[in-house]
Amino acid sequence: MKAYASLWSADLLALGEAVDLVDALVDGYHLDIMDGVCVPDLLFGLDFVAALRRRTKKILDFHLMLSNTDAWIGRYAEAGSNLLTVHRQFCHDVALTLDHIRASGARAGLVVELGDPLSVEKLHLDLVDRLLVMGTEIGIKGKGLHPNTPQRVATILELCGQAGHRPEIVVDGGIRRETVPLLAQAGADGVVPGSLVFGEPDPCAALHWIHEQRLKTSDKA
């Protein structure tokens, strides 16, 4: 199972040290980009993400929760994003936004919120490189995984099979010791761990454990 560590859960006064500690093990870093309008919080600005890009060569995955998403695509791509993930509700035309992301040189991701309908058309499977499946409401942390999430992952995989296109499927929100194996079994490629990594006494051991979950699921199959 891949792990894209959420820096929102790291010590915000020691982010450089947090990155250095786990950099050899993470598959990438997940950054929630919030403008205080779409969700009631503010995170992470362009200067910070440019500094992070200089600190690591790992994938930088920016989850954009911005009221004027399209206006920020180019600037966050220039700041060093490998992957820009957007919400359909914050885009005037999500298909055009996904095209814009790809034209900027970044990979395109689409958020699948808890209440979003699941269909080949709604998931824009022909345009996305990743689907970020939310296990909780957006803009919050510390909540448990919605119980329907593993089944939604399995349904998305079925739709990918119908469409003949298989983007990466990553789950964000409610990532815990008891939920990661369920998500691996459902077919998710990765998770966005926050406190599961940065709240542990040994973040590196936690990352090793996450990586092992897909292997254990494959062995059972």
CB 83 within 8 A of CB 129: yes
How many CB atoms are located within 10 Å of the residue 100 CB?
Answer: 20
Q: Is 40 exposed, middle or buried, given 0-12, 13-18 or 19+ CB atoms closer than 10 A?
A: exposed
Catalytic residue among 27, 61, 172, 189: 172
In single-letter form, the type of residue at position 35 comes to D
Catalytic residue among 27, 32, 61, 129: 32
**Residue 35: strand pairing partners:** 42
Q: How far apart are CA 197 and CA 205, in angstroms?
A: 8
Report CA-CA distances (Å) from 60 to 19, 48, 122, 146.
Answer: 12, 12, 25, 26
Residues 95, 78, 52: CA angle, nearest 5 degrees: 115
Q: What is the 3-state secondary structure (H, E, C) of 195-209?
A: HHHHCCCCHHHHHHH
Any catalytic annotation for residue 172?
A: yes
The catalytic residue positions are 32, 172
